Chain A
Amino acid sequence: MAAKFDQNDDSVVVIIGSGAGGGTLANELAQKGVKVVLLEAGKRIEIEDFVNDEWASFAQLAWKDMRTTSGTWRVHHDFPNLPAWIVKAVGGSTVHWAGASLRLQEHEFKTKTTYGGLQGAHLLDWPVSLKELEPYYARAEDKMGVTRTNGIPGLPGNNNYKVLAAGAARVGYKEFNTGRMAINSQPRADRGSCQQIGFCFEGCKSGAKWSTLYTEIPKGEDTNKLEVRPQSHAARIEHDAAGKVTEVVYFDQAGQQQRQKARVVCVAGNSIETPRLLLLSESSRYPDGLANSSGQVGRNYMRHMTGSVYAVFDRPVRMWRGTTMAGVVADEARHDIKRGFVGGYEMETLSLGLPFIAAFLDPGAWGREFTTALDGYENMAGMWLVGEDMPQESNRVTLDGTAKDAFGLPVASVHFDDHPNDIAMRRHAHKAGAALYEAVGATRTFPTPPYPSTHNLGTCRMSENPRDGVCNKFGQTHDIKNLFISDGSQFTTGGAENPTLTIVTLAIRQAEYIADQMAKNAV
């Protein structure tokens, strides 16, 4: 049974955001008997409400509240008020994620050591190693039912995968398969197996894909220790004279201001809203915002080096049929500076329906060069290129000086410039992706630019030294012992891999730490 806590109950842990980080943390704490109030800005939208319709689903699920952008990245030009494509609903972006669940590589936790002094890159080693995280990765993979772990077979390859695999073999790649996916290839954990519906980004209608919405959150509620409050938009975190955080101010469904007292506050609003909330919570004691003595809150915003390659063939592919991202080539994920850049990238199958391919293939393009590409839609295959981008202090989330949200609060402004390493990697990836498809007979290829960011990372980075970052290796902020960062904002650097598995891994570990600290009365 779901719990109901008094707003003056100052013994609860308040978690802000119910996605991969917040939703997992809520369940993990509830399972340990810790009382949790989970505030979620969006509505509770269940599986039966999801729609196999790209724009209708976008309207239903996406975080559409206004944001502003600046910088030389193309997203600023193409989508000036939509820097990120993330979800505003219970379950957060685990509702629309594609399920790819890859561990970060050992060297990606030690980028300063491995990549050295790269000009303009604000590299830093994580304060935690792969070895320390391995047991937690294993628990995350088991929890999420990741294929090719725990004896779970891989998903069958769809048409788009078959083209990718044939091309990968032709160009000599060795490490490719249908990926480690948090999508059931056989019934598991009371959820059925993938029906090859497609529309992974629109919410999984079969529930085969792991999402906190229908796994962690109801499990947590069953303990009677977790209360989920949808349509509760956190506006500010308050603190006492000693500097400890004490309560969260939020706006409810009716737009009324509410307060919830807390023993511990965990922020998991994704890497744009998390720093925004800390900055909005400025006070006379913390004039630069909470947990910001380092000045690093909002900085080092990362969004992965992304891009796509679509290719048209002389015969049909029908890429939209089946699991969207169950196809991964890992050969380029290694760190190998002979290619002209540090870090690496994954090549992953990707398909968009006709409405979205029109909007995203080459945003702003028109005329016959563009429309003949769409005429080839049925014969099209596609891949996403996702690689490590370089953290830069100037890539940054700040509060907009003029634009305000529905509650009168300054909106987040996202500044981003590609680092030269990001550009070199993208160029290499576009070329390698085109070569892969040409090897199996593509008649035309398209080097598609980045979409609004789905992997938002690093704006409250972990650091060994409090001077270098916002939180320690458990996500606990250096400045305020009972304030935690519980989402991808913690990432010191981004790695090449889709981040959800690592976010869940960190949340499992953080739950242990918080419960332990509470038991010791250390928080």
Chain B
Amino acid sequence: MTLEISQRQLDRRRFIAGVGTAALVISGAAILHPVEAWGLEVKNLRPETMLTLIKVSRDIYPHDRLADRYYAIAMKSWDEKSGSDPATRQLIEQGIATLDELAKSKYGVPYAEVGWESERVNLLRQLEDEAFFQKIRSDLIVSLYNQKEVWPLFGYEGESAAKGGYINRGFDDIAWL
């Protein structure tokens, strides 16, 4: 799965006073990440909703070594599912709206603009048993960690049979014991 963006969109963004987090900005129906140079066209959800979803996904499984793009790829399917299933769309939009309401009443800003991760996590804990959170989390545990591109960032080497296994590639190379 890839995220695509035109250079023109990226260039244009530099002149837009966008809403969003420091790194992610909304331009029309797209979410742009100028630093990582990718964009995500949002077709069925509100772009603000997708931006917040990406933020939520990092707060659920925060890995400082993972770029935003992996979280965006993991959350992209919610936009696709929302196109074919109105109930999913409703669940996601309502869930994010609830989070934003909680954030505004406690911190005076929407969820994505709450400054500390621990504060955002406190908001998520309030929704932990709700279908919205459960669905996002149980989907993310696969859609994030099953991306082959993230495996090397954890040291995991994936497929090995085609390389002859590890019989000659360090199955017993531990040296510090």
Chain A positions near chain B (C-beta within 8 angstroms): 50-53, 55, 156-159, 162-163, 166, 194-199, 205-206, 315-318, 320-322, 353-355, 358-359, 364, 366-368, 370-371, 374-375, 377-378, 440
Contacts and interface: CB of A to CB of B under 8 A. Distances in A.
Contacts of A197: 160-161, 165-166
Given A355-B146, A366-B61, A371-B63, A196 B167 contact: yes
Interface string B151-177: 100111111111011110111111011
Contacts of B150: 354
B168 to A, nearest CB: 9
Q: Is the interface of A mostly helix, strand, loop or mixed?
A: loop
Contact of A53 (B61, B65, B158, B165): B158
A52 B61 contact: no
Contact of B154 (A196, A354, A370): A354
A163 B173 CA distance: 11
B166 A196 contact: yes
A11 to B, nearest CB: 43
Given A374-B63, A377-B154, A358 B161 contact: no
B121 A359 contact: no
A295 to B, nearest CB: 38
B69 interface: no
Given A198-B165, A377-B154, 9 more contacts: A52-B162, A195-B165, A196-B166, A196-B167, A315-B176, A322-B165, A366-B61, A377-B155, A378-B154
Interface stretch (B36-44, B100-108, B137-145): B137-145
A355 B165 contact: no
A159 B61 contact: no
Nearest to B174: A159
Given A53-B159, A199-B160, A322-B172, A375 B65 contact: yes
A374 B166 contact: no
A322 B164 CA distance: 11
B60 interface: yes
Closest A-B pairs by Cβ, 3 of them: A378-B155, A195-B165, A322-B171
Contacts of B60: 366-367
Interface string B126-149: 000000000001000110111000
Nearest to B58: A371
A158 B121 contact: no
User: Interface of chain B, helix or strand or loop or mixed?
Assistant: loop
Given A52-B160, A196-B166, A354-B145, A157 B172 contact: yes
A243 to B, nearest CB: 48
Contacts of A315: 176
B173 A159 contact: yes
Most buried by A among B160, B165, B169: B165
Contact of B160 (A156, A163, A198, A354): A198
A400 to B, nearest CB: 22
Interface string B56-69: 00011111010000
A377 B161 contact: no
B158 A159 contact: no
A364 B60 CA distance: 11
B157 A320 contact: yes
B165 A367 contact: no
Nearest to B164: A195
A353 B170 CA distance: 17
Given A366-B137, A378-B156, A321 B171 contact: yes
B147 to A, nearest CB: 9
Given A198-B165, A370-B61, A378-B154, A355 B159 contact: no
B141 to A, nearest CB: 6
A156 B62 contact: no
Nearest to A356: B145
B63 A318 contact: no
A349 to B, nearest CB: 12
A464 B52 CA distance: 64
Interface string B113-132: 00001000100000000000
A377 B167 contact: no
Contact of B161 (A199, A353, A355): A199
Nearest to A195: B165
B172 A318 contact: no
A274 B123 CA distance: 47
Contacts of B156: 320, 353-354, 377-378
Contacts of B177: 162-163, 166, 440
Nearest to A193: B167
Contacts of B61: 366, 370-371
A52 B157 CA distance: 11
Contacts of A364: 137
30 contacts: A52-B158, A53-B158, A156-B172, A162-B174, A166-B177, A194-B167, A195-B166, A196-B167, A196-B171, A197-B160, A197-B165, A197-B166, A198-B160, A205-B161, A206-B161, A206-B165, A318-B155, A318-B170, A320-B156, A322-B166, A353-B156, A354-B156, A355-B142, A355-B146, A359-B142, A364-B137, A366-B61, A366-B137, A374-B154, A378-B154
